[in-house]
Amino acid sequence: MQDLNELLRPLVEKAINGIDKGTDFVIEQAPDLLQEFYNWHIAESLIISLFLLIGVVQVFWLKKPIERMRDYDDGVLDIIRVMVQCIVAVICLINLCVQLMMLIKILVAPKLYLIEYFIN
């Protein structure tokens, strides 16, 4: 029994030292990790918002090529065009609002955003 304790003691001490070093490393790196986490989500939100804004603008610019096709249609194309434009514009605007709200939440209340992110 004495021999077993002597053999296990160095192993347990090494494990405890390794855990202490790992804990110290995590504590040292936590602020940088959080800053990178926030920066990434801010950049992601801005990029998505930009694409959604471009989508909304493109929907209304799509009107000109379709108007050239009006000579070949009896008016049904106009109804379809308006419906598609409205649906796409509404979807893009809703998603744009969601992305902007997330961006505001990250900038105004980063701790709240972090808690909600890890809960979900």
Q: How confident is the model at residue 108 (pLDDT cuts 50, 70, 90)?
A: very high
Residue 111 has pLDDT above 80, yes or no: yes
Q: Which letter does DSSP use for residue 62 in this model? A: T
Domain ranges of the chain: 2-119
Tokens coding 13: 């001490």
Please write the tens of the pLDDT for every residue from 44-71: 999 998 988 888 888 777 666 555 555 5
Q: Distance between CA 63 and CA 81 in Å, rounded?
A: 8
DSSP 83-119: HHHHHHHHHHHHHHHHHHHHHHHHHH-HHHHHHHHHH
Residue whose C-alpha is closest to residue 92's, from 59, 43, 64: 59
